[in-house]
Structures are given as structure tokens and as C-alpha cells.
């Protein structure tokens, strides 16, 4: 989102996205998302409310962190997939790799998704993010099939891939011990059986 080399001119920044995110999550844990005002988050970071809105477009955007960056990563994964691979395989593999946070980042990822998927306002806001994610898939499918990104198949594969991912995520969050990657596999296998 903001990978510019940071010109050293002008007044220095007062905070970072990460710092705001951290403070916000602390407050969300304490009082809940709806009960935490943007004012409180800003105060907790030590910045003005107005400044916080320059780092995040809305309160709903805070839990998503720098999502746009990871979208670029997703796009690369798909582009790098071997051209010989069947389409459904390359999409499937990309989904697995995209969601493969190491043991290091997994806890924060779980915290983030847990908050998002359990908070109505955030669930709602998420579709706008999901739409971008689906777009990346649709573009890839269109590219490999020669169809337009708006044609039925690319759009459908995008939607269905998201559907599988969300199923897996919901189960993962509900079951502490489960493995997200296994679940993605299972969800896809289940769908295949179901349709057969």
C-alpha cells in the first residue's frame, strides 16, 4: 500500500500502521470492536483522531492491516504456477500457499481472522476485500483460458474458491487444533464428492 522509500523531507511521521493495529487489537480484546471508539485508539497511540484516518480509511480497515500488499503476493503466486498444471490445480495450490503462514505469523493471523469473522460489521466490510481477492483469481482463470475476466467461468471460479476458503476458515477458527491447510484440502474434496 505504502512502499515508497520514505522521503526524508518534511515533518516525520508520528506512528506506523503496525503500531495503530497493535493498539487497536489490544482495545478490541478488552472492550470489543463496537465498544472501542476510533478516538480511544488514537489516544492510545498518542496521535490525533484525524491522523489515524490518514493511515486507515475506516475503523473497519484496521484489522485487515496491509492487505493490499498480500494481494500482490497472491497475484505473483498464481503467475508463477507452472503453465502445464491443470487450472483447478494451480488455483488450489495457490490458495494453499497464500494461506501458509508459518508458525511465526499464525497466531496473529488467527487473532485477526477470528475478530473479523466474529464481528458483523467486519464481516460485512470484508466483502470489499474478498472482491479484490476474487478478482485476482478471475484474472488468472481468464488468462489461462482465453476468456474475459467477466465471463461466467472465471467469475464462478473466483466465487467458489472464496467459498472454499471461508468454509475452511470458519471451521479452523472454531476448532483450535485443526490445520488450515488440511481443511482447505478437505473442503475441496468434499465439494468434488458432493457434485459427483
Residues found near a second copy in the complex (CB under 8 A): 87-88, 120, 123-128, 131, 150-153, 155-157, 159-160, 162-164, 166-168, 170-171, 174, 183, 186-188, 190-192, 194-195
Q: Report if residue 29 touches DNA, rule: CB under 7 A.
A: no
Q: Which is nearer to DNA, 43 or 151 (CB)?
A: 43
Q: Please name which of 150, 158, 146 lies closest in space to residue 91, comparing C-alpha atoms.
A: 158
Report the distance separating Cα 85 and Cα 90, nearest Å: 6
Integer CA distances (angstroms), 194 to 90, 172, 189, in order: 21, 21, 9
**Which of the choices a second copy, DNA, none does residue 11 contact, using the CB cut-off of 5 to 8 A by kind?**
DNA
Identify which of residues 24 and 155 has a Cβ nearer to a second copy in the complex: 155
Q: At what angle do helices 17-31 and 38-45 cross, to 10 degrees?
A: 120
- What lies within 8 Å, CB to CB, of 76 at 6+ separation is none
**Could you say which of DNA, a second copy, none residue 128 binds, taking C-beta under 5 to 8 angstroms by partner kind?**
a second copy
Q: Which stretch binds DNA (CB under 7 A): 56-64, 75-83, 131-139, 180-188?
A: 56-64
Amino acid at each position: 500500500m505504502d512502499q515508497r522509500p520514505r522521503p526524508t523531507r518534511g515533518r516525520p511521521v508520528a506512528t506506523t500502521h503496525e503500531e495503530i493495529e497493535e493498539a487497536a487489537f489490544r482495545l478490541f480484546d478488552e472492550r470489543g470492536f463496537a465498544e472501542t471508539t476510533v478516538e480511544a485508539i488514537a489516544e492510545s497511540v498518542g496521535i490525533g483522531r484525524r491522523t489515524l484516518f490518514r493511515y486507515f480509511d475506516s475503523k473497519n480497515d484496521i484489522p485487515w492491516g496491509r492487505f493490499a500488499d498480500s494481494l500482490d503476493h497472491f497475484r505473483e503466486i498464481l503467475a508463477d504456477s507452472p503453465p502445464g498444471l491443470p487450472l483447478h490445480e494451480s488455483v488450489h495450490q495457490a490458495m494453499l500457499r497464500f494461506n501458509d503462514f508459518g508458525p511465526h505469523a499464525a497466531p496473529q493471523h488467527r487473532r485477526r481472522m477470528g475478530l473479523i469473522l466474529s464481528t458483523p460489521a467486519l464481516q460485512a466490510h470484508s466483502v470489499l476485500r474478498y472482491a479484490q481477492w476474487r478478482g485476482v483469481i478471475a484474472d488468472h482463470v481468464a488468462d489461462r483460458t482465453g476468456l474475459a475476466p467477466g465471463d461466467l467461468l472465471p467469475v464462478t471460479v473466483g466465487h467458489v474458491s472464496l467459498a472454499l476458503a471461508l468454509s475452511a476458515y470458519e471451521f479452523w477458527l472454531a476448532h483450535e487444533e485443526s490445520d488450515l491447510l488440511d481443511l482447505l484440502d478437505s473442503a475441496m474434496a468434499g465439494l468434488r464428492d458432493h457434485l459427483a
